[in-house]
Each structure stands twice: as structure tokens, then as C-alpha cells.
Structure 1
């Protein structure tokens, strides 16, 4: 059914902001580029370690550096900056936004696209537990260079920083975020300056920009190629953040920040590390910290730690946003969402997600105990997500941008080959730690698949027991029961059926309110729905009306706030004399159900731990009446 929309200009509901480009560029440095900006701490080092000391040291440095330079150029600059950032879903980015855009563009909304989206979202959450662990560990390990006697304090200090990072999440990041941009601007400046200075150690290192060095190195080290590629990929981890945070800053500030600050500074630092290692082969174990003079190492360790905390904060916030999207798209059960800012709706805190991430991050630090050990776990989730992004981008090129098959293939096929190569290289690290993100992603994927299937079964069972709304209204018009003063709002997910809460209310109370509103909340395929398109009101008779509220999948579905729009359509009610009726279902498993018995149990556990509709929709708890019933799935 297509619903006509109300046109409204309510300033209390709408939210539009505008900012200058320069502040957004600075903010993007702090949020978007935190992860990829801390890669110089370990990417070049791990790639050198992967050579196992075989071959010419100089050829290894030139070959690895050339691979890193062209990975940054092709994966980040060409793929993400040039193409992926243009595939926005009404200004929003990220795996689920791209999935929704691609799925809506094809008639029939094919299931395989949703499967890819779920897989990509699951892999992102797998990545989200590794980034804080490896980033903070790699920074704190600078102590081993500054004061080797304190090396045994690396893990305790890392755990302390991580604990503090997760504890402060509930207080919001608004105040801290104000310094993210300047700190990361300083970090990139230090990267560029220190790298530029050490290029003078061996200026010939600039020749590594020639891709021939990368090709020759791969050809001469076939046996090591997979291992080295897995380490080289660490230089581009964080590229997905460009797309995930598209809605926060817009494409232009992200692109400007990349070309003006991030890309040049990263290149200078990697070239500087290469030249430094050529001049000082004995410092290959810690080239980043080793290339700074003694007086600067302590400040550099402190700055690196701050940068890694910022990088971790960005991925944690991204996990909150991703889970909220998944909840609104009915891929995950409702969870409690706390807003930490009165002015920015995107600043949220989800306690259950925070606890989940904290437990896994601490476990990873205790298990691997070093960034080198964790590097084996890093990469599979990111490369898998990048591979999925390329496939969905091809769908968008063909069906949204209307590119011809040859043109789309000319762009996507080379990118797919590169993504596949990196994915294969990281899969080789599965026994050494790559199983970690795969395990987490598998758990999340199973939860999403169970929730989707369980909700579908539950909806089918409920629909079989429901009576068409029109039929109930016609019966009540013929034989009107007694009425009581006030307004009753009955929430239902089925727009056409009579709410179960209404049927049970009539059965037990045998009365109606003077005004009865059948309310359904639907989620649009767009991230935000304009205020003048949010609401549809249909009046059946003086007793009954139907209200359909449409939210975008990035919005917080606050019903009382949006009900103010209904007054413009003549709907008059006093919230203090209004009762919200909900049906609370107790789900029972069935051995002959549509899912395996164990999966029924999992779905029931997810449903029991889901947040209440009262909290999720922002309903006044003192005005909510819940009617319970049992359903067998």
C-alpha cells in the first residue's frame, strides 16, 4: 500500500545543519582517518618481518614499500575515494546503506543481496573488536624502545587504557570529539615531518614509487608473496571508515582531507621508514619509534597512544551506528539506545554492544599479548568486507547509475582481483589468529539469520490468528460496545490486521475508548525520512483511525515526538489521557517448527533479551498497558 504523506515544516521535529568545509575537514581527520592513520605504527614493520630475512635487504625494502604505496593508491584513492564514496544512500554510507541501495534497485529485492549485507555487517563487528586491541597495543609497545626494562608493563597499561576507553563511552564523546581533529592533525603532521626528514637518509628510496619494484618483488618471492601481502594490507585497514562515516561529514570534506593531509603524510612516513631501515638495518624491529631521536620518543609514544585511542573510539562509535541500523532494518533485536548528546542524534551509546566489545577486546589482548601476534588476526574481516563492497558497488553501477556492463566490469573486475588477492593472503593467516574475526562474524551472522527467520515465522503465526482490521471495525459499528473517555493507541506491526492488543482488550474489558488509533511504525529504505513525509492518517469512523509513521533506518523512532505532526491533520488528543496498548508475546519452541529446535531456543533467548517497545519507541512508561499472550513457533 502507498500512503499519502503530510506536508509539515515543524522546526521541532526537523533537523538540518550546515557547517563550513574547513571544520568538517578537521573533524574528518579525527573520526574518519584514525584507523588508517595509525597503520604506520605496524604495517611496514610487519611486512618486513614477513620476509623472514630472506633475499636482499634493499630489494625487500623497495619491494614492500612499493606494494604499500600502490595499495594505498588503488584501494583507497581509486576504489573508495573515486567510486565508493559516490554510492551514497541519500547521503549515508556503510555496508547496510549500500546493501539497501543495491537491493531496492532490483525488482523483487533479491535475497542474496541481503545475505551479502548481513555478512558485511558481521565482518565489520569482527573488525571492531580487533582495531582497539591492535592499535593501543602497537602504541604502548613504544615503551620497549624508550625503556626496555618496562616491557612487561605493556599489557597491563594497554588493558588499563582500553578499560578507561570503554568506561567513558556512557558519558558520550561530544567533549572529547572536539579535540579529536586537532590531535589527529598534529599526528599526521608528525608523520609527514618525521618521514620527510628521514627520506634524506637514502633519497633513492623515492624510486619505490615505481610499480616495477612491487612486481619484481612479488615475482622473486612467490613463496612469501601471500604472507607479505597479508602484512602489506595492514596499511589500508580503515579504508571502510571513509564510507561508513560519509553521512557524518559528506563526500567533499573526506576527499579534501585525504588528498591534502592524510595521503601525503602517510606516503612521506612510509618512505621515511624505508630510508631509515636501509640506513639502519638493525632497527627493522621497530622502525617507527626507532626513527625518532631519544628526546622525542616519550612524546611520540604519548601522541601515538592518543591517536590509537581516537582510532578505537571511531570504530566503537561505528559499531553503535551499525547495530542501530541493523535494529531498524529488523536484522537484530531491539536494544537499549542511550543518547549522549542533546544536539547530535548520531552520538549514541548501546550498553549491550559496549559490553560485548569490551569483553572480546580484553580477551584478545590477554591471548595475543603483542601487536605482532594480533596482526595475524587482523585483515580477514576487512578484506571480506571490502570484497562485499565491490560486489554491491557493481550492482549500484549497473542498476542505480545505469552504467553499461562493459564500463562497470572495466572498473570492478580489476578491483575485485585486488580484493580477492588480499583476501586470499589474509585467509592464509587463519590458523595464526584469523579465526578470531571469522568466529565473531559467524556468531553475529547466525544471530541475524536467526532473528530474521524467527521474526518471519512469528509474523506468519500471528497473521494466521489475526482478523482483518476492516472486519473488526465493521462489526463494532454494527454493535457498539460501551465507551470510556480518552484515547487508546494500539501498536501493531501489521498495517492491515487488527492489533492483538485490541482483540484482547475487547475480550477482557468489553469497552472501547472514545478515540482509538491503530498505530504502525515502518522503516524506509532511506536513512532519513523528511518530516513532511513521516506520517499518514486515515479515519475510518468517529471511533477508529489508522496512523502509519515512517522512519528512516538511521533515525531514532520516538513516537510521542512525531505524534505532534498528527495534529496538523486534525487529530486531537491529550497525551495525559492517552493509553498505549502493546501485546507482549511469550514465545514457545516447537519441535515441528520452521527452524531447528536449537535455533528456536536461540531466537527465544534473543527475544527475551530484546529491549522493550516502551523504551525503543520512547513511550511514556506510565501510559503503557501490556497484554500478554503465548505463541508457538
Structure 2
């Protein structure tokens, strides 16, 4: 019975994964083949080139998705959580990395590019689907951008429902989508079984030999068939590795292969179908229903990377890469399912601006390729450290495997760099801005903490300080929040200005662990000092949302104090711009702006507002 329930749960998760994780890669047939034979570097449309392109697509799916991501990279999970930031924290946990190392900078750029991908994917997917209307009627062409913007607005408005509800709604639709594209591809492929020769890598090799530079440039379009690979890894925390793997091998991969083969057969038999090879697979009376289904699937395609962006944001907040922002948990059963309102609407605005500016999906293809291939390169780079440090692989096998993956990633990335003027500038500009903001936040926090440490007290210095300034003890219990192992600045200010100390003192530190989730039995650590002073440490994983109201009930029992009589003292750091310092003015001003945008600790830590006293400490930066 228990086994049956587990099987049903895994099947439900796999269906949900279809609706959230595989939308991106599942809708690539809408534009991938077409992009290979159109544009500035297009190759001639003949049988040899069609087989060559098909071979490149097939082997890209096998090597990049099946081998790299599903088999290896998704095994490099951080307690079930995936994505670039989770992988970075796994190979380089807090306290072991140097500030602003090459690894950290590469990770910030990779994460920033994933945000860029999250903006471009919805725009190109929805535009590609709606452009299918042009085959049935040209009347809707002038309204393409209006329809796309409306659909995108509705999609982003729906995000607050949570990944679980979205997966339950979208899963059956994507199951239908994969079934339809698989059957349509099969029906076209049997009309010309010559396309089965594309499974031989010989055709890919011959394609490069015959087409030279133009053949290499086609890689910039071929990469569109594997764009969902990073989403598989980033969204792993939402569903788990096993359901994603099952959905890929049993449903997504067979359907994609059949559809690409069907489009290839169609182009060999009817070259004029290159106008839109995907929709050419269907008879005219099915075009409008297919445009509707494709539009729905394209909306779902956007979901994979949007959900990934939310997970990425939650990880970035807990790792200290960006300021604290409000993160909502959308599932009680799966803590990895989160929604970030501010990120959601920033992405919505940027998506709509992209649609208005670029107008056609073909114009966005270059921008799309650079964003995702840059992220793939960084993932491979971090995976090298995972193999060496975590798995303990020796130099030669680790180098061989990573070099093999890097050949594909760098090949795709370098070719896409030729499209900078054709839209590729957008993800580079966006990623550069996001990475710079994260860099400034990390730099500013380190600078601020250095100043506070220099002015702070170690625990050993606490008793002499109390004896020096205290005039009286007052009844009650006081809890002072600390950001480090030093005595909180709020307590020092309180002691020196008010000259009183409470009968019972608790110094409370909330810290983030290297793993996504912490066992609740290990969450609290209590160290009792002399004179009714205690040091309480509460630990959360980097995917968990702190809630001190719940945790402290348990802690009070261990400390022997009453939560009803406790007051919380929060130190608030007031950032001031140092006019006397003429260096790094832009970075310092930006850090002060970011500090003002951060969520208040009161809201972030879920502390009862009526019991909080805030004490400010000015820091010049």
C-alpha cells in the first residue's frame, strides 16, 4: 500500500514536472529547425544539410541533456536543491572561499545570465507560438505583439498561485502537447525514413566539412533545442531528480526526437515548408487548434525558467548575494517551491519591453542563445570542482569528462557571440548589470561588517564592559539579535547610553547553513555564560524561511525564561555616505540604495512587532 502511494506521488510529481520544468525544451521545435535554415548564416536547404542539422540536434539532446544534465549535473545536488548558486555553495561553502575569487565572479555572472534567460524565454516562446497564426491568416500579424504582451501579463499575474498549483494545471496540457508533437512527427517521418540516418553522427561531421564557417554558425541555432537543460537543474528543488528524469526519458525525449525527425522529413519532401516547418506538419483544418495549443505550451515554457528564477533568488538572498527581499513559500509539502513578487514583476516588465522592441521571435534568437549558453559554461566550470572536491575524482577522468562537456558548451557560446549586434547585447547588458549589483552588495556587506567588527566586543570582553557602564539591573528578559559571534552593537549602545542591564540576557544569532534545509532537531544551539547570560544560535538552510516566533517557544524552555516577559532589541545599521572619501563613489552610493531596499529584519525573521525595540548604529561607507 505504501509503495503504491509512493508510486502515485512520483507519477504526480513527474506530471507536474512536465508542466513546469519541460515547457522550455518542449517548445523548442516551434523555432529551432526554422532558425537553422534562416537568418544571416543560413545554409542551403538540401537533403544532406537537413540530415546534418538533425544529427546535430539529436546528438546535442543526447550529450548535453541526457549525459551532462540528467546523468551528471543533476546528481550534483545540494540536498535536493539545484541551480548555479546551490552548486557554488556545495563546492565552496561559507568560510572557505576568498572574497571575489574567479569562482565567485563566474557564479554571479552565470546566475545573472539565468535571470536574462528568464526574461527572454517567455518573450520568444509566446511570440513563436502566436506567429503560427500567419500560416492560417495574415490578418492577425499586426496584432502579434499586442496578443503576446497580453498573454505575458496574464502569465506573470498567475505566478502567485504557486508552482504546485501551476504544475497540476499545466501538467496535463504538456502531456497532451508532447503526445501531439510526437504523433505528428511520427506521421511525417514515416513518409521519408531516410531521416533515421540522422542518428549517425557521421552526418553532423560531414555537415561541418561541407559547409565550413556557415556550418559552424548554425550551432547558434542548434543550441535552441537544448535551452531547457539549465531549467532542469534550476527547478530540481521544486520536484526532485527522479520525477524529472522519468518525465524526460519516458515522455519528453521520445516526443522531441519524433517531432524533429518529422520536420526534417517534411523539409526534404517539401522545401517550401521552411516558412514554418513545425506548423507545416499539420493539415490546414488543425492549424488554429494547434496555434492555440502551441500558445498554451509556450506560456508553460516560460514557467520553467520563471520558477527557476524564484529558486535562484531565494538562494541568493540566503547566501548574501542580494539584499533581503520578501519570499513567499507556496507549498507546505515542498519547501523548495517559492514565489518572489518583486522579481516576478520586474521580469514581467522586461519581457513586455522585449516583445515591443524586437517584435519577432527570429530577432530574439541571438539574445536567447547567449543567455543560456553562458549559464551552461559556468555550470560546467563549477561541475569540475564538484567532481574533484566532493566526489573525489582523480585529475585525468575529471578533466576528460569536463573537457568533453566544455567542447559543446564553449562551441555553442562562441558561435552565439557572433549575434551580439542582432540582439545578443541584451542578455550581456542585463547580466552585467545584475552581476554588478550582486558584486556591490557582497563588497559593501564585507566592508560594513569589517567596520562593525572593529568597533565590536568579543564575548570575553563583555563582563568588564558591563561593570564599567552598568548603574542598575532591571527585572525582565532581553533578547539582542547579533549578526556575528561578537556582542551585538545594539547591546553596547543600550548599555552605554541607558546604563542598565536586564536580569536575564540572551544574545541571539540567526545563521544560514551550507545545506538547503536543516533538521529541526539541530536548529537550536544554546550556550550558557555566567551571570544569567546565554548565547542562542538558530540555524536555517539557505532554502528555508526564518520564523523565530515558532523556534523561540522551544528555545525558551531550554533557557528557562518566559516568552511573555521578553523584549527583543534589534540593531539597525544606518548607512551614511562618507563625503570625505573620494574613492569608489558609485559603488558606495549603490550599496546605500540597496541597503534601503532590504526587507526589515522584523519581517524577515518573523518576530512579534509589539515586543521589538530598535537601536540604530550609524556606519559611514
TM-score normalised per structure 2: 0.94
What's the CA shift for 1:501?
A: 1.0
Task: Identify unmatched segments of 5+ residues in structure 1.
Answer: 1-16
Q: 2:253 matched to which residue of 1?
A: 263
2: CA distance, partners of 1:335 / 1:491: 19
What's the CA shift for 1:376?
A: 1.5
From the superposition, tell whether residues 367 and 243 of structure 1 become closer, same or farther in structure 2 (CA, over 3 Å): same
The answer to whether the aligner puts 1:387 opposite 2:384 as a matched pair is no
Question: Superposition pairs for residues 436-451 of structure 1, below 5 Å?
Answer: 436-451=426-441
TM-score normalised per structure 1: 0.93
Q: 1:14 matched to which residue of 2?
A: none
2: CA distance, partners of 1:356 / 1:291: 37
2: CA distance, partners of 1:446 / 1:52: 33
From the superposition, tell whether residues 145 and 84 of structure 1 become closer, same or farther in structure 2 (CA, over 3 Å): same
2: CA distance, partners of 1:302 / 1:571: 64
Q: 2:487 matched to which residue of 1?
A: 498
Q: 2:573 matched to which residue of 1?
A: 585
From the superposition, tell whether residues 569 and 477 of structure 1 become closer, same or farther in structure 2 (CA, over 3 Å): farther
The answer to whether the aligner puts 1:545 opposite 2:540 as a matched pair is no
2: CA distance, partners of 1:293 / 1:561: 60
2: CA distance, partners of 1:543 / 1:381: 56
Structure 1 stretch 204-213 or stretch 249-258: which is displaced more? 249-258
SS in structure 2 opposite 1:90?
coil
1: CA distance, partners of 2:303 / 2:382: 27
From the superposition, tell whether residues 282 and 584 of structure 1 become closer, same or farther in structure 2 (CA, over 3 Å): same
What's the CA shift for 1:595?
A: 5.9
Task: Describe the superposition over 1:40-96 as per-residue Cα deviations: whole angstroms up to 9, x where unpaired.
Answer: 111111111147665352222111111111111111111111211111112221101
Task: Tell me how large the CA RMSD over aligned residues is.
Answer: 2.2
Q: 1:8 matched to which residue of 2?
A: none
SS in structure 2 opposite 1:231?
helix
8 A Cα contact 1:34 1:307, kept in partner:
yes
1: CA distance, partners of 2:483 / 2:98: 20
Structure 1 stretch 97-106 or stretch 278-287: which is displaced more? 97-106
What's the CA shift for 1:246?
A: 2.1
2: CA distance, partners of 1:300 / 1:113: 45
From the superposition, tell whether residues 350 and 339 of structure 1 become closer, same or farther in structure 2 (CA, over 3 Å): same
From the superposition, tell whether residues 347 and 131 of structure 1 become closer, same or farther in structure 2 (CA, over 3 Å): same
From the superposition, tell whether residues 481 and 46 of structure 1 become closer, same or farther in structure 2 (CA, over 3 Å): same
Of 16, 19, 26, the match for 1:37: 26
Q: 1:532 matched to which residue of 2?
A: 521
The answer to whether the aligner puts 1:205 opposite 2:205 as a matched pair is no
8 A Cα contact 2:547 2:605, kept in partner:
yes
SS in structure 1 opposite 2:545?
coil
From the superposition, tell whether residues 54 and 98 of structure 1 become closer, same or farther in structure 2 (CA, over 3 Å): closer
Question: Superposition pairs for residues 434-473 of structure 1, below 5 Å?
Answer: 434-473=424-463
2: CA distance, partners of 1:606 / 1:566: 33
8 A Cα contact 1:50 1:224, kept in partner:
no
2: CA distance, partners of 1:460 / 1:514: 31
8 A Cα contact 2:235 2:311, kept in partner:
no
Task: Identify unmatched segments of 5+ residues in structure 2.
Answer: 1-5
SS in structure 2 opposite 1:614?
helix
8 A Cα contact 2:525 2:538, kept in partner:
yes
SS in structure 1 opposite 2:153?
helix
What's the CA shift for 1:31?
A: 1.8
8 A Cα contact 1:105 1:396, kept in partner:
no
Aligned residues: 615
SS in structure 2 opposite 1:590?
coil
8 A Cα contact 2:42 2:214, kept in partner:
no
8 A Cα contact 2:163 2:338, kept in partner:
no
Structure 1 stretch 218-227 or stretch 60-69: which is displaced more? 218-227
Of 221, 231, 242, the match for 2:211: 221
What's the CA shift for 1:615?
A: 1.1
From the superposition, tell whether residues 201 and 51 of structure 1 become closer, same or farther in structure 2 (CA, over 3 Å): farther
Of 183, 197, 203, the match for 2:173: 183
Of 601, 617, 621, the match for 1:629: 617
Structure 1 stretch 191-200 or stretch 352-361: which is displaced more? 352-361
Q: 2:69 matched to which residue of 1?
A: 80
The answer to whether the aligner puts 1:97 opposite 2:86 as a matched pair is yes
Q: 1:562 matched to which residue of 2?
A: 551
Q: 1:6 matched to which residue of 2?
A: none
The answer to whether the aligner puts 1:313 opposite 2:341 as a matched pair is no
Q: 2:3 matched to which residue of 1?
A: none
What's the CA shift for 1:371?
A: 0.6
2: CA distance, partners of 1:618 / 1:203: 63
The answer to whether the aligner puts 1:610 opposite 2:592 as a matched pair is no
Structure 1 stretches of 4+ moved >6 Å: none
8 A Cα contact 1:337 1:349, kept in partner:
yes
Task: Describe the superposition over 1:455-495 as per-residue Cα deviations: whole angstroms up to 9, x where unpaired.
Answer: 01100111111122332234436885434443221111121
Structure 1 stretch 17-26 or stretch 224-233: which is displaced more? 17-26
Structure 1 stretch 482-491 or stretch 76-85: which is displaced more? 482-491
Of 320, 323, 326, the match for 1:333: 323
Of 91, 98, 111, the match for 1:121: 111
